Structure 1
Amino acid sequence: MEKQGSRALLAAVIGMGVLLFIGSLALVGVLVHRMMHPVATPATAVAGPVAAPPVVAGADAAGDLVMDEAPGTHVQAVTARADGLLAVVLTGGGVADRVVVWDPSGRRIVARLVLGRS
């Protein structure tokens, strides 16, 4: 009986060793495949043009973007997004803080977010 139990134990140990070896090969294969075929991470962007509230913005004769903001408004921060848009935080001017999403290549304001009421 002892010989039968030790044979079963030996078979189980060999089987587990083979499974560990196959699993290690699979892991190395996945790592090599991912290194050889990198996937660009998708940008967390809006899936299309956002319908923004009306913004009085246009291009003047020189082609510059002109925004109609209250006097005293200043730019607090500018953040570049992966999709090429700029998120511009505007403060002051006697109105609530706001974030404007600007598309420099299209020379247009894509969206506005008012952060609170003043």
Structure 2
Amino acid sequence: MEKQGSRALLAAVIGMGVLLFLGSLALVGVLVHRMMHPAPPAAAVKTVAGPVVAGPDMAAQAALVVDEPPGTTVRAVTARADGLLAVALTGGGVADRIIIWDPLARRIAARLVLGQP
């Protein structure tokens, strides 16, 4: 009986050793593959809508006029993933503000006033 128990234990130890070796080999293989084929950073994967090109239908439309006081300057423009532009405005004697502009629909989608001038 003792001989049979030790054989089962020996088979289990050898089996686990083989599994441990194969798992380590797979881990090294994955690491080498990832080092040889790096994925691009997540921020570079996002795409933004391309520039608006004036076509024949846009030439007939009126220009978009933003009602801002004289002296207003654009501090920053940020393209969002959905194709809208977030434009930070300052000056003009009023508080700093951010407008969300939809260039394809040619409209201001939202306006946020940040405080008192």
Q: Is 1:18–2:19 an aligned residue pair?
A: yes
Higher strand share: 1
RMSD over equivalenced CA pairs, Å: 3.7
Shift of 1:21: 2.9
Under a length normalisation based on structure 1, what TM-score does the superposition of the two structures give? Answer: 0.56
Q: Which has the higher helix share?
A: 2
Q: Which has the larger radius of gyration?
A: 2
Provide structure 1 residue ranges, at least 5 long, that are not aligned to the other structure: 36-40, 44-60
Work out the percentage of aligned pairs sharing the same amino acid. Answer: 53
How many residue pairs were aligned? 90
Deviation at 1:8, TM superposition (A): 2.5
Question: Displaced runs of 4+ in structure 1, greater than 6 A?
Answer: none
Structure 2 gaps of 5+ residues are 34-38, 40-44, 48-59
| Cα shift readout 1:3-58 (whole Å, capped 9, x = no counterpart) | 95686266235225326636838x95xx9xxx9xxxxx789xxxxxxxxxxxxxxx
Distance 2:109 2:94 in 1: 20
Structural mapping, 1:64-75, within 5 Å: 64-75=63-74
**1:80 equivalent in structure 2:** 79
